[in-house]
Structure formats: structure tokens, C-alpha cells
Amino acid sequence: MTGVFARIYAAVRAIPRGRVASYGEVARRAGLRRGARTVGWALAALPAGTTLPWWRVVRADGTIAPRAGADRQG
């Protein structure tokens, strides 16, 4: 895991249950300027069965981006 991905994962973990954050907001919290795509890449790199609450990260318009295996999210 790269340092950038670790910062992104920490920012995602900090999103409270019942709340969401946009990819851009997660990027800003991780200290990345214009890093929304990097957030997407980091979340796409997560292994199946991860406990990181990736589903709390949404598009800027509030919709959920498609993810392989999303139907298995618990």
C-alpha cells in the first residue's frame, strides 16, 4: 500500500456511519489536490471482503459509482 493510498483509506475510515463524502472531499481530507480519481483508484484496489466502508464515498452529485461486487456489500 502506498502512502497516498494509506492516507485515502484513513480519510474513508473517518467518515462517520450514516454519512457520506464525495471522492473530491476524501481527496482533500487526504491532502490531495484534485485527487478524486486517485481516490477511485485506491478504492478499486481494495480486496474483496475489505472492512473499509468504501460505500460511504459517493460522486459529487451524491450518487454511488458502480463497483464490481457491490451487491455483496454488508
pLDDT tens for each residue of 5-32: 999 999 999 999 999 999 999 999 999 9
Between CA 60 and CA 74 the distance in angstroms is 23
pLDDT at 65: 84
Looking at the structure of the chain, the number of domains it has is: 1
- At residue 52, does pLDDT exceed 90? yes
CATH number, domain containing residue 64:
1.10.10.10
Do the beta carbons of residue 33 and residue 56 sit within 8 Å? no
Do the beta carbons of residue 7 and residue 30 sit within 8 Å? yes
Domain that holds residue 29: 3-72
Between CA 54 and CA 58 the distance in angstroms is 9
Between CA 68 and CA 2 the distance in angstroms is 22
Do the beta carbons of residue 64 and residue 58 sit within 8 Å? yes
